[in-house]
Structure 1
Amino acid sequence: MAESNRVTPWEDYNYIARLPDFWEVTGVVGGIALCRTYQAANLRPLNTNASRMMFVGYIIGGYLIGKAATVLRNNFQTRRQLFLEDYVDKHPEDFTSAEPKKFKEVLWEWKPHR
């Protein structure tokens, strides 16, 4: 691939979230809820060893599904951002910068009441 056709991301754009994402937390909560619902539906006690192992498995499974959803979302957002950056770089005539407005153009005229 030629170097001129390669699109690189802007340096100041944050592509990946730093905290646990919504889908990761939702996956963990969904795993807990699914495990407890399964146990309640089958009339199993909550403190048995098999229930604890199943509980851990559902939490890990829910987290991994949430992590996969986060990675897919981040890839989609990164790709969309790179397409937009590439379009802006290739068509600068469509994105002309306007003159900045002054305060007297933005604010209303102030007349003190005395």
Structure 2
Amino acid sequence: MILGKVTKFSEDVTLNLIELKQENFEYREWIALKYAQEWAFHGGEKPSGKIADEFKKHYSYKERAWIEKIIRIQRLANYSMNLLHKRGWIKSTKKNVCYIGSNQTGNLS
């Protein structure tokens, strides 16, 4: 949510990014966002399966490399912000994911 406020995204844009419904994006853009989401959900491991296949199909090698670099930079930024806010990273064998479903409603402020 901080990114949305800093970049001054509208609430609709921010909600679209949270919900990540395919109909709210061009397909190619949605695939990249879904790929990044899957990467995050799996604790930084590259996704596999249908999303990974579609990602390879719709993006060149160079484009995929840039997108993956951005994903890694964002992960580093998230860890840095957690450290600044004294939320230390705890190594765990269990991957924890906070799922935000597409039925999310309400005010983001």
TM range (shorter): 0.3 to 0.5
Instruction: Please report the TM-score for the alignment, with normalisation by the length of structure 1.
Output: 0.31
Instruction: Please report the TM-score for the alignment, with normalisation by the length of structure 2.
Output: 0.32
